Structure 1
C-alpha cells in the first residue's frame, strides 16, 4: 500500500477546491458559501448600511437609481464595520486567487437596496463583456454579494440565468441589455437566490441577471465587493478611498490587493457606475 505523502509548504492544505470554484464561475457563473460570517457581524453591517443609505439619499449624486425603488451606493471601506474580515475571509481570498490570479485587486465596495415596491429589472449585464472574455474566454472580474437580511420569495430575490456570461452580445443594447425576444431563454434557465444572513456569493457580473419585484414591506440591502484581475480596469468606474490613518492599520499582505486612493480626508463619492438602462428603461 502506497503511503500518502505528507503536505509540504508548497502544497498548503485548504478546505476549498480549485476545480469546484473554477467550474462554478466558468460554468453557471455563480458560487456561494453558506454561513461564512456570524449573524451578529452581519447585523452590525446592516446597521452601517442603513445609516449610509440615509446619508447618501440626502447628498446630490450620493445614490444612483437601479430602477423604480432601487438604489446603488458606493461607500468607503472604513465607513463599515467588518471590511477587513470580509476581504481577508479565506474563501473570498481563495476565490479571487483561483479565478483572477495572485495579483487580484479590490476596486469597489458598495451596496444595493431594493425597497418595497421595486419592480422586475430588465435582464442585463453590469457592463459590456471585455475582450479578455469575448476573445480570450477568460473572466477578469468578479462581484461578491453578501445579504444583510434573510431573503424570502416576496422580497424581490436576485435572479440569474446560469451560463450566460459567455453569450454573444451583438444584439444587446449597449452590449448589456438583451432584446426581449431573448427573455424566454433566460426565464427557462432562471434561478432565484434566497440567501440567509451570513451567506456570501460570487458571480461574474457578465452573467445575465436581474432583481425581481419586491412585494414585501421590507428592503433587501446587499453588500457588493468588486474585484479585478490585472488589466481589467473596472476601477475607472469607481472611487475606492482610504484615509492614511486607516490604511496604515491594514495588513501589508492586503494592501497589495487594494486599488484606490490614499487621502487625508474621505471625499464624498459621486456615483460613477451608472447603468442607464436600469435608471431610465422599463423595469
Structure 2
C-alpha cells in the first residue's frame, strides 16, 4: 500500500463538486483485478451475513445492506488510504476526518425502484450552517448497465428542506427530482464520493445480475454517523496499519471480532417506491 499523498488533486474542484452537485468521482482509481477480488470477497461476506440473524439488513425487496469488519477485505487499507479518498476527505471534512463505516449494498435481481430519499436526517451543521460534515464513498464491483438498477441522484439537493419526514420528501416535491435526476453508470475501478444527504434512489434491477457496491462512510470531527455503526479492528490487524491510516479510523480495538448486527434501518425503503 502506498503512503497517503493527495497533492495532485484540486481542492477547488472537489469542494465545488460536493457543495454543488453533491457527488464527484475518480475514474479508474483501481485495477479491474483489484475489483474482481473485492467482488469475490463481498460475495463470501454476503453469504455469511444472510446465514445469521441480523447479518443483512433489508432495504426493499431483494435489496440488502451489510456492515462488515474491514479486515475481512484484503483491499480495505488500499481503499481507505487511496490518495483521492484522502484528498476528498481532507478538503471537505478537514484534516481530522474519521472513517466510521465499512459495508456494501446489494440490489439483486428483482429489486424495486426506491422512493426519493436521503440516508439520514440533515444535521444542523448542514441545514443551518450550510456545511457538509460527512461523506459516503462507493465502489461498484460490476460494470453498471441500465437494467441493473443504477443509482439516480438529483444534483444539488443536499441542501433541501421540507416539513414532515426528514429523510423522505413529500410526493408533491418529486417532480423537481424527476426533472433533475441523473443516472450513474460507474464501471469497475471507479470510485465516487457523495453527500448522503443529496436526494437519490436506486432504480429497479430488471437484470439477472446483482449490483454490489462497497460503501465507506466518513465523518468530520462533529459528524455523528459513528453512532449508527460498529467499526471493529483486531489489535493484530490495527498494529499492522500505517499510523497515517490508523489516525483516521474511528473504531473499537478488540482481541476477537464480534458479530455485527445491522442497526441503520430505513423503514421507508422496505416497500419500494409508491409514486
Provide the rounded CA distance (Å) in 2 between the counterparts of 1:184 and 1:156.
20
**CA offsets, 1:141-175, max 9 Å, x none?**
0000000000001100011000000001324x2x0
Tell me, yes or no, if the aligned pair for 1:100 and 1:229 is still in contact at 8 Å: yes
Provide the rounded CA distance (Å) in 2 between the counterparts of 1:281 and 1:116.
14
Residue in structure 2 matched with residue 143 of structure 1 by the alignment: 136
Tell me, yes or no, if the aligned pair for 1:169 and 1:176 is still in contact at 8 Å: no
Matched, 1:55 2:72: no
Residue in structure 1 matched with residue 159 of structure 2 by the alignment: 166
- Give 1:281 shift: 6.0
Tell me, yes or no, if the aligned pair for 1:106 and 1:227 is still in contact at 8 Å: yes
Secondary structure class of the residue paired with 1:71: strand
Provide the rounded CA distance (Å) in 2 between the counterparts of 1:113 and 1:280.
16
Matched, 1:91 2:84: yes
Q: Which runs of 4+ in 1 moved over 3 A?
A: 280-283
Secondary structure class of the residue paired with 2:65: strand
Tell me, yes or no, if the aligned pair for 1:143 and 1:202 is still in contact at 8 Å: yes
Matched, 1:278 2:269: yes
Alignment partner of 2:11 out of 18, 27, 44: 18
- Give 1:279 shift: 2.3
Matched, 1:241 2:232: yes
- Give 1:276 shift: 1.0
Provide the rounded CA distance (Å) in 1 between the counterparts of 2:244 and 2:147.
42
Secondary structure class of the residue paired with 1:225: strand
Alignment of 1:187-202 (within 5 A): 187-202=178-193
Secondary structure class of the residue paired with 1:72: strand
Residue in structure 1 matched with residue 59 of structure 2 by the alignment: 66
Q: Report the aligned-residue RMSD.
A: 1.2
Residue in structure 2 matched with residue 184 of structure 1 by the alignment: 175
Tell me the number of residue pairs that the alignment of Structure 1 and Structure 2 aligns.
270
Matched, 1:211 2:202: yes
Provide the rounded CA distance (Å) in 2 between the counterparts of 1:146 and 1:109.
12
Provide the rounded CA distance (Å) in 2 between the counterparts of 1:278 and 1:241.
27
Provide the rounded CA distance (Å) in 2 between the counterparts of 1:33 and 1:281.
30
Residue in structure 2 matched with residue 81 of structure 1 by the alignment: 74
- Give 1:179 shift: 1.1
Matched, 1:253 2:237: no
Alignment of 1:215-230 (within 5 A): 215-230=206-221
- Give 1:182 shift: 1.0
- Give 1:14 shift: 2.5
Matched, 1:120 2:108: no
Tell me, yes or no, if the aligned pair for 2:61 and 2:271 is still in contact at 8 Å: no
Unaligned regions of 5+ residues in structure 2, if any? none
Residue in structure 1 matched with residue 27 of structure 2 by the alignment: 34
TM-score (norm 2): 0.96
Provide the rounded CA distance (Å) in 1 between the counterparts of 2:231 and 2:6.
33
- Give 1:238 shift: 0.1
Secondary structure class of the residue paired with 2:85: helix
Alignment partner of 1:268 out of 259, 262, 265: 259
Secondary structure class of the residue paired with 1:248: helix
